[in-house]
Every structure is written in C-alpha cells, then in structure tokens.
Structure 1
Amino acid sequence: MIRTPLRPLARILSARQKGENPDTIERENLRLRHEEIRDRGRARAEVRLLFLSLGFLAAFSTIGARMGLLAATEPVEPRSAAAGAQILATRADITDRNGRILATNMQTYALYAQPRDMVDPGRVARELAKIFPEIDPVAMERRLTDGRTFLWIRRVMSPEQMQRVHEIGDPGLLFGPREMRLYPNGQLAAHVLGGASFGAEGVSSAEVIGTAGIEKALDARLRDPAQAGTPLELSLDLTLQAAVEEILGTGMTMLNAKGAAAILMDVKTGEILSLASLPAFDPNDRPNPLVKGDPGDSPLFNRAVQGVYELGSTFKIFTVANAMNLGLVSPETMVDANAPRRWGKFTIKEFQNKNYGPLLSVENVIVKSSNVGTANIALMVGAERQAAFFQSLGFFDPTVIELVEAPGAKPIVPKRWPDITTITTSYGHGISASPMHLAVAYAAIANGGVKVTPTLLHGGVAQNGPRVMTAETAAASVRMLRGVVEHGTATLGDVPGYQVAGKTGTAEKPSRTGGYDEDKVVNTFASLFPADDPKYVLVVTLDEPVETSGSEPRRTAGWTAVPVAGEIIRRAAPLLGLRPVVEPPPVDGLTAVSN
C-alpha cells in the first residue's frame, strides 16, 4: 500500500508562493486518510458479519433438520460406543427335518416405570396387582415411591395384559418392544430344545440366550446375525416325536414308572429322529432346578442323555460279539451254563435261580439271557480285551451330541478290571452308561460293525466311522437278537411285518445304604428293525416300573419296556416309510388243491 504524505513538498511550495496556509493542506490530507481508514474498517466488518451470519444460519439449519428427523423417527435407546455394547435380539428359528417350527420368536412388550412421572403411584400399584396376581400392591407402591427413577415391572406381557395396563392411563408406565422365544409345541421335544431366557436387557430390546439343551449348545450359531434368516434344521421328526412321547407317557403311567426315556436313531447316519425323556416340562415356562434331593427327580433331567444307569442284560450281546469277533466262539459253540457258578467268594446266579445248563449254545445264551453262560464267554475273552471293546463302543466317554448336558454324563466304569469285574460287566452290572450310549453301541451292530456319532442335526449322510467289529459278527449278532424277540425274553415286542430284534435288560437299582434294591429296577429294551436290513435303533428305558395286571407284580423288562417299545415301533414304522412284510399263512394240506 502506497502511503500518501500529509505535507507533500510540491503542494507546500506552491501554497507558499500563492500566500496560502500550508497547514490547511496537512489537515485536508489527514481527513482523507482517516476517511480511507474508516472505509477499509467498515468493509472488513461487513465481510465478518456476513460470514458470521452464514455460520449461524448453517448451524441453526443443521440443528433444525436434526430435530425434525428425531421427531419423525421412532425413539431409540442411547447405546454406548464401547465394543460389544449392542444388544443382539435376533435369534434363528429351529425346525424339524421337514421344516416344521420347533422354536421361533414372537414380538411382545416389556413393562417398566418411571416413578417420577407418575400421577398416582398408589393407584398404579393397586391396578397392577389386579392385572398381575404375583404383584404385592403394598410392596409395589413402596418401590414406586422410594425415589428411584426407573423400575422394571414385567419382562414379558400378553397383548391382553398390555391393553389392561394401557387402560390405567398413567404416564409413568411405559412399554418396551422386544422379542421373546416361543415354543409352539409346548412340552414336545422339551429336553432337546432346552429353553431360552433374556440376557442383556434394555427398554427397547433384550438379548435372547439359550439356557439348556440345543438352545445353549448351539447358542452362538442361533445368535449369529449372518445366519438369523436361516433356520437350524434338526434331525427330529415332529410327528415321530409326538407319537413316541404319547406312547412312552401312556406306558409310564400304566406301569407306574418314576420316569422314562426313548431314543430312535438312524443306524447309518447317527441322526436322532426322536429323543424323549419323561416327566417333561414346558420350555415356554421352564421350571427352576431342584436345590435339594435327587436331581433325577426334576423334570429338567434328561434321562436319555444324563441318566447314567446299569443297563443289565442289554450288554450281553457285546460280550458275545466281542468273542465272535476274536474268533473264540460262533453262534453254535456250546458253553458252560451250569448255574449257579461260584467265583471266589461270589456266586453268579440266573434270574429266579434257573439253570439253563449244563451246556448252552452261544445263540441260546443270548436268547435265554444266561448270566452264567455270558460270564464264561467273558472269561474266555479276558479283562483287557473286554475293556478295550467296551471302550471302542464308546462306553468310557461322554456321548458327542449337540446337547449341553451330554459332556457331564460320563459313564461310570470300574477303576480296576479283575476277573469278577469281567464277569459282572459282561451282563451289564458294575458299569453304568446312558441310554444314548446304548443306542450308539446297538447302531454299530445294526449297520454292519461301524461306530456312528449321534447327532441332532439333519444331514442325511452315512457316516464312515471306525469299524468296531466285522460285518459277519454284526450280522450274526442281529440274528441272535431276532431270536430274543421270536422266542426269548422279548416276545411281547414282536411287531408283525417289521421283524424286530433286540435285547432286554433288567437292572436292580443301587441302594443308598449299599447293595441293590430288589423292588426298584431300571428296565431297558434295546431294539433294531427291520432285522433283515436294520435301519433304525430304538432304546426304551423305564425307571422303577411295575406291571400289576397279574396276581403278582412283575418288574422285568420283558413285561414293561418291551411292550412299550413294541407299540412305538408299530406306530413309528409306517411313519418312517417302512412297508410291512406280510408272511402268507401256511397252506392247509386238507384243503389245498392243484391243477
């Protein structure tokens, strides 16, 4: 900027020549300079005011737009910016193998209160007590007036209850939307599904988490947002499950049993088509666990997986199969069955002190369920090889199945394996396992000698598990088991047209004071069908059953578990698509004619 001098020399000299006052020139130039400075200052101020106005306009426009947006949208609960703070409420459905819903989600509302906004807390407490009987009006009024700013009242409400609360009309009562887990079939497959509850909760959403069963075992899969739209497809068949539970429940009632369990499994894929445990519960209203007493008395107890029992004579076929697999015997080999048999200070007896000896074929050892014959075969096998065979069948480890309860059900096996243990375990005493363990072991016999892993997930692919016995041994074992049903201890389980094969097991329950209780038994029938080409295994277990239709009470599996299993097969086989094989009646020689 060029600065104009206040007393320019040329003009001063010219003014002096003309006789003018040079100070006038200086005052004029000073005035002009001040006016120029004021003009520049005014221009800068105007520019600043313009930018400031534009800034205020932009800020207030943004705030106004944001307020309008918030007013036009649903209220959203503020969330923390910390990782993991978001509540994931979406949970995938669970279906059976045919796509029928077993577990899904339902939109509902929670009820909470902001006491500071209430008009009349006393009236609100009294009205809430009329809607929800479990609410104490005095205690509720005290909580509404103790100074707190927030109070949960109900996590879940029915639409009718919500309407009645709405009619109270107090501004301090508020509703929060959320999803809850719904099991539309009630108690059906309750022990498989387990149940769900709320985890992290907010006023507008709640985290649904599994609490038991497959809901908890596969909780991460069910809560995965990427798979929320893809249902978890189980191997269960809803129709089969309903039939099995109905028959099992009827049998449990008629036979005065304390509990019951049933497992129906595909012998090649390991898929569980039905898994039932009674008494059951409704996962929509899951009861609390027992805090004292026997956990097995709780309806939450899954007898099919968690129940670890001595399974009695159902183990005899394993002893015989092991001996045949080692080449020690064949079905026709005659063994010593002379009873009773002394071994040191122990006596091995038959049921009702019978004696099937002195000799009995291996096949008849199974058909007649001879303890002595089985013991002598086990001694031929030896302790080490017997223990190894039981371990190969899975009787030393928990079953690998998609239930959170399964890992805790470890079989009870002897710590030492002397000869007397070899004898007693050969017919199912001194070793305890679950019905699921038994189903897996019988599936290996049924499918030709390959161990399968049980699964509750639908896949339909035959498993290529480890071979535990030769195909010839497995086939011979199936023929023996068929003989048990045809003319052995399980004749009441013979279903015309379906060639049932299986083995009974009656095991006295250990007494709490030591020894065994003769009047309390666990009865099991492990079966497979059809015997000519086994496709399915069915294990039925009854806890403390007694059949009272005769003159004396009967507690053996042949009178209790077997007829229940037979009725299940009679109902289930057609549902499984099995066509009955009807054998023609024998031709009467007196009336037969020929051309």
Structure 2
Amino acid sequence: MLARVPKVDLSRLPRPRRKGADSAERARVRAERRLAVLGAMFALAYLTVGGRMAVLASSEPEEPRGAATLDAPILSTRADITDREGRILATNLATDALYAQPREMVDPARAARELARIFPDLEEAELLRDFTGARKFLWVRRQISPEQVQAVHDIGEPGLLFGPREMRLYPNGALAAHILGGAGYGREGVDSAEVIGVAGVERFFDARLRDPVRQDEPLALSLDLTIQAAMEEVLGGGMALMNAKGAAGILMDVRTGEIVAMASLPDFDPNQRPPVATKGDPGDSPLFNRAIQGVYELGSVFKIFAVSQALELGLVNPQTMIDTQGPLLWGRFRINDFHHYGAENSVTDVIVKSSNVGTAHIALMIGAARQREFLGGLGLLEPTHVEMAEAPTGRPLLPAQWSEISLLTISYGHGVSTSPLHLAAAYAAIANGGTAVSPTLLRQENPEPGPRVLSEQASAQAVEMLRQVVARGTASLADVPGYEVAGKTGTADKPRPSGGYYDDKVIANFAGVFPASDPKYVLVVSLDEPVETSGTEPRRTAGWTAVPVAAEMIRRAAPLLGLRPKVEVAVADGVTAAAN
C-alpha cells in the first residue's frame, strides 16, 4: 500500500533571486562609491585652488617667470660686466657661426682647401674626410669674424652656411682674466646659442647675467680698471725682475672688503681661454688663480695676529719685554730666529725684527684654543665667500690636531696654509679698527660693519707696530714717501710634495696698510720662488723681493685712489714745519 505524500503550499516557498538582479545591485554600490570618491576629489581640488588664491592674494606681486623646458627658445642674451666706474669689462658681440651640409656641396675638395687657407688651425685632409663622409651636418667654426665671413662667402660653396651668434667679448684682453673667468656656449642650434659662464664671476653670476629681465642692467664690480692695469703691469715686471715662477696681488678697501684690484700671474686671454690642464701640477697652469686658489704657508706675516690678540687680551703692551733667547726647545722641535736678536726684546721689536722665538713665547700666553678662535674670527680657517666660482677650492689647510707645537708654529706662519686673499681680509680687520670684513667683488653702497674681533686701541697699536716694520725693520724698502706705509714681510719655505721643505724655494709675501695714520687700503703681494740676483749672493727673502714690488704698486696706485701724499716741508730754524 503506497504512503500518502503531504501537500505543500508552493506559494509559501522563497522565490529564487534572478542572477541579473544581483549584478545590478553590485553595480549600484560601485557607482555610489565612485561618486563619493569623485566628490571628495572635487572638494579637495576646490580647497587647494581656494587656498592658493588666498596665498597669492596676501603675497607681494612679482613678475611671473615661465619654467624652462626642452622646447624653450635658446636665449643668447647676456648682461655686460663693468668696473666700479662703469667701464666695460665683458660684453656680447654679434657674430656668425660657420657650419657645413656636405650633401649640398658642389666641390668638397676646393671647399676644404680654401677653408684651411682661411683658418690655418684647420686641417685640409680632415675637412675633406668630413665633407665626403656620411655626415649630413657639421660645425666648422663656432664663431668667426666679419672678415672671415666675407672670405668664406667668396668661396661660393652652397654647402657652407652661416648662423647668427652672440659671442662674449673681453675688450681689455687678459686684464682681470682670472676674475672674469670666461664664457663658452651651452645649448646651441643653427640660429642661436646660449652664452654661459665657465669660470670666475661669469660662472658665479651666470643665472643673473643670463636673466632676460636684467639684460640691460650691467653687473658692476668693485674693480677699478686703471688700478687693475697698473697692478698687473707692476706685478708682471716684478715677477720678471725677481725671477719668480708666479705672482699674486690684492688691493682691498679695509672697511668694506671691496677688492679694488686683484691679479694672478701667469694669466691668459679669456677671449681665447686655454683648455684645463690634465697633467702636471695644477698650480703651473695659467688658469690657476694664485690669489684665491693658492693656499700656502705665508710665514711671518702671521706674527701680527698673535701680537694683536695678546694686546686685546691684556697680556702684553707694546713695551712689554719678551724672551727672544733661542733656540726655543719644545720636545724634539727647535725654534730659531733668522738672526740672533738678544735675550729680550719689546713686543714692538719682536714684530720689527720678526722674531720667531719671541712670537712663540707670546703665543704660549694665549693658548691653542683662544688662538684658533681668534684666527677663525679673522676668517682664516674657512674658504672666503668672494663671488667667484673658484672660491670654495681655496680651503685653508689646518693641522689635524691643534696641539701646542701647532700653537707655536702657527703664530709665526707655519703649520697652517691660507691664500693671499685670506691674508688681505685679515689685515683689513686688523687695520680698520678691529671689525671683520668679507672680501667682495661687488661695489658696496652702504655695507654693514662686520663683527668686532679687536678693540680700536689694540688695532691702532698693531698698525703702529707695522709702521715701525717699514720705518726701521725688514720692510724698509716699502717706505714710499708721503703715504705712511705700514706692513709686514713673510718668507716661507715651500713644502716638498714628498715631505719636508726645499732649501732654495720660498713663497715671499708682503702685507701692507696705507696710510698708517688713517688706514684705507690693504695691499698683499706674493711671489712664488723669487730670487733677487743683483748682488753677489742670491736673495730670496720678502724684504728683497716682494717688498720692492709692493712699494712700486703703492707709488702707482695711491694717486689713482685719490690719496694725497703728506709732504714734509723743510724750513729754516725757528719756524715750525707743517705737514700737508
């Protein structure tokens, strides 16, 4: 008998959902999420734009500048550089570039022959290879003169073409070459090329000089062209007369740090800047700037720093007697003087006679920590911040540990190496009443005084000691009548690359201030390996080599600087002499 199956109410069973309904629901949720994200992005964008508008509304208006892109036009403009009187030191000149399209040439052999005749530095065989090879384009010369343009035109070759160019011109040739540095071409095309700075102030101020907004605003330097010319002429003559391999000179305003003239020899013509040397000693290259990049042990010119600091600290006065009995023994080291100066000398005579032993005794009173702090305040322990691309490379060489023997040797100019520009800035601080200066190549209108490193009293005492060095000491040949020259000599043995020092090679320096009664300028002259041979024995010390060169510079430059000489008028007995 079959069992009965109960009836089921089909209307009460859940209906199966359709597959399409699930997909629609998921799509709706996704759409809602996307709309939410999109709305948030729009809100953020509005907030960003609104915030930027608020910033712009509250800021000072300025000229908008477009960002450079690869498709930006090549700008060949470059502002002039002038001296402090507005005389042109560097400017742009319209010229032409010469290029070739070999596939358009009718007679490549004749073109190569004629170009080699017009440009003797080009090789005919090499030109012919280029003109008959696979090249479609080549530069022949980046810039040529109008006369050369006409000569190439006369060849009559359709494959030789010209493109307009701006070239950098230095109308004074090699004058101030190391300061200006030079320029070359950056991005270039057939119709134009960028003129960019490659060294010196040209490179340091490259962005400013290339700014189209400021192309009619010359860059005014602190240099005086006439004094720069006088310095280079005197320095070149002195270098030849003293048989030196190199020379440097700096003339600086003691209060502003403005460099009125600065020279390094040998030099070069920035119109035809030589290539960078890849072999040998970089210091032998004419591109090497001895005034900034040349860091040397400068010798006894450093002694005034130790004495000035001792005066400032109240440890001595100009009449204090100092032990000068030599040698001074310090461990295995012996410190001697060039001559025997007796058992004791006054502080003034320690400077006048240039006693290493006496200066070392004064340094012992100061101590290594205070010495380092003082020399740092004078700017002698870091590169100068002068506006030249080469300035960071003139980093002083300091002892690894500033020990007590370092304290002694540094006091008389050994154990630390600095540049002539460092020395000029430090002497300016000593002479100007005791405020530090930062060397600059820009003309200063209203400069702010630097931090005080020395009291006015100590400064005046130091200058008077330097005056005595010229009046009756090692720098007597610097006593130019009427200009009250004060200064100090320094002769330092040159170090050997393998260690130790040469017996017959020195760096001779003179650091001078004038006029001593109211210091206005500091002059530094440095000669590399000088030998004065007028006597029976060769003489290398600074008193015989650097000092006469410095004296001639002062004699030439002082009138150009507007300084009137003080003239002693000889009169009969009973009448008072007057100084004008």
- Normalising to structure 1: TM-score of the pair? 0.84
Alignment of 1:397-546 (within 5 A): 397-546=382-531
Matched, 1:552 2:537: yes
Q: Which residue of 1 aligns with 2:125?
A: 138
Matched, 1:123 2:139: no
Alignment of 1:240-389 (within 5 A): 240-351=227-338, 354-389=339-374
SS of the equivalent of 2:202 reads: helix
Aligned-pair CA distance for 1:513: 3.0
For 2:502, the aligned partner's letter is D
Contact persistence 1:449–1:469 (CA under 8 A): yes
Matched, 1:106 2:93: yes
Q: Which residue of 2 aligns with 1:14?
A: none
Aligned-pair CA distance for 1:586: 6.5
Alignment of 1:198-217 (within 5 A): 198-217=185-204
SS of the equivalent of 2:462 reads: helix
Q: Which residue of 1 aligns with 2:40?
A: none
- CA distance in structure 2 between the partners assigned to 1:276 and 1:589 by the alignment: 49
Q: 1:148 aligns with which of 111, 114, 135?
A: 135
- CA distance in structure 1 between the partners assigned to 2:156 and 2:518 by the alignment: 69
Which structure 2 residue ranges, 5 or more long, are not aligned? 1-67
The count of corresponding residues between Structure 1 and Structure 2 is: 509
Matched, 1:225 2:201: no
Contact persistence 1:340–1:355 (CA under 8 A): no
Aligned-pair CA distance for 1:147: 2.9
Contact persistence 1:311–1:522 (CA under 8 A): yes
Contact persistence 1:375–1:426 (CA under 8 A): yes
- CA distance in structure 2 between the partners assigned to 1:84 and 1:409 by the alignment: 39
Q: 1:385 to 1:222 in 2, by over 3 A?
A: same
For 1:542, the aligned partner's letter is L
SS of the equivalent of 2:252 reads: strand
For 2:371, the aligned partner's letter is Q
Show structure 1 runs of 4+ deviating over 6 A.
Answer: none
Contact persistence 1:270–1:463 (CA under 8 A): no
Contact persistence 1:269–1:460 (CA under 8 A): no
- CA distance in structure 1 between the partners assigned to 2:526 and 2:544 by the alignment: 12
Q: Which residue of 1 aligns with 2:168?
A: 181
Which structure 1 residue ranges, 5 or more long, are not aligned? 1-80
Aligned-pair CA distance for 1:160: 1.3
Aligned-pair CA distance for 1:172: 1.1
- CA distance in structure 2 between the partners assigned to 1:316 and 1:421 by the alignment: 14
SS of the equivalent of 1:239 reads: helix
- CA distance in structure 2 between the partners assigned to 1:474 and 1:209 by the alignment: 44
For 2:215, the aligned partner's letter is A
Aligned-pair CA distance for 1:134: 2.3
For 1:89, the aligned partner's letter is S
For 1:223, the aligned partner's letter is R
- CA distance in structure 2 between the partners assigned to 1:85 and 1:175 by the alignment: 22
- CA distance in structure 1 between the partners assigned to 2:365 and 2:169 by the alignment: 56
Q: 1:392 aligns with which of 366, 369, 377?
A: 377
- CA distance in structure 1 between the partners assigned to 2:444 and 2:213 by the alignment: 21
- CA distance in structure 2 between the partners assigned to 1:501 and 1:474 by the alignment: 13
* Post-superposition CA distance 1:92-122 (Å, at most 9, x none): 0001000111001111100111222211112
Contact persistence 1:452–1:463 (CA under 8 A): no
* Post-superposition CA distance 1:555-594 (Å, at most 9, x none): 100001011001100110000000000122364589x9xx
Q: Which residue of 2 aligns with 1:170?
A: 157
Aligned-pair CA distance for 1:437: 0.3
- CA distance in structure 2 between the partners assigned to 1:418 and 1:326 by the alignment: 21
Aligned-pair CA distance for 1:83: 4.7
SS of the equivalent of 2:543 reads: helix
* Post-superposition CA distance 1:159-182 (Å, at most 9, x none): 111111000111111110111000
Aligned-pair CA distance for 1:280: 0.6
- CA distance in structure 1 between the partners assigned to 2:448 and 2:324 by the alignment: 39
- CA distance in structure 2 between the partners assigned to 1:587 and 1:294 by the alignment: 62
* Post-superposition CA distance 1:176-196 (Å, at most 9, x none): 011100000001000000000
Q: Which residue of 2 aligns with 1:63?
A: none
For 2:445, the aligned partner's letter is G
SS of the equivalent of 1:390 reads: helix
For 1:535, the aligned partner's letter is K
- Normalising to structure 2: TM-score of the pair? 0.86
* Post-superposition CA distance 1:18-57 (Å, at most 9, x none): xxxxxxxxxxxxxxxxxxxxxxxxxxxxxxxxxxxxxxxx
- CA distance in structure 1 between the partners assigned to 2:288 and 2:69 by the alignment: 39
For 2:350, the aligned partner's letter is V
- CA distance in structure 2 between the partners assigned to 1:107 and 1:366 by the alignment: 57
- CA distance in structure 1 between the partners assigned to 2:303 and 2:486 by the alignment: 14
- CA distance in structure 1 between the partners assigned to 2:123 and 2:247 by the alignment: 40
- CA distance in structure 2 between the partners assigned to 1:82 and 1:364 by the alignment: 67
Aligned-pair CA distance for 1:246: 0.3
Q: 1:82 to 1:377 in 2, by over 3 A?
A: closer
User: Percent of pairs identical after alignment?
Assistant: 66
Contact persistence 1:271–1:460 (CA under 8 A): no
SS of the equivalent of 1:557 reads: coil
- CA distance in structure 1 between the partners assigned to 2:445 and 2:507 by the alignment: 33
Q: 1:102 to 1:523 in 2, by over 3 A?
A: same
* Post-superposition CA distance 1:206-255 (Å, at most 9, x none): 10000100000110010000100011001000000000000000000000
SS of the equivalent of 1:458 reads: coil
Cα RMSD of the aligned pairs, angstroms, is: 1.4
Matched, 1:566 2:515: no
SS of the equivalent of 1:432 reads: coil
* Post-superposition CA distance 1:392-451 (Å, at most 9, x none): 111110001011001111000112122111110000001100000000000001110000
For 1:294, the aligned partner's letter is D
- CA distance in structure 2 between the partners assigned to 1:210 and 1:276 by the alignment: 20
Q: 1:541 to 1:334 in 2, by over 3 A?
A: same
- CA distance in structure 2 between the partners assigned to 1:148 and 1:311 by the alignment: 56
SS of the equivalent of 1:479 reads: helix
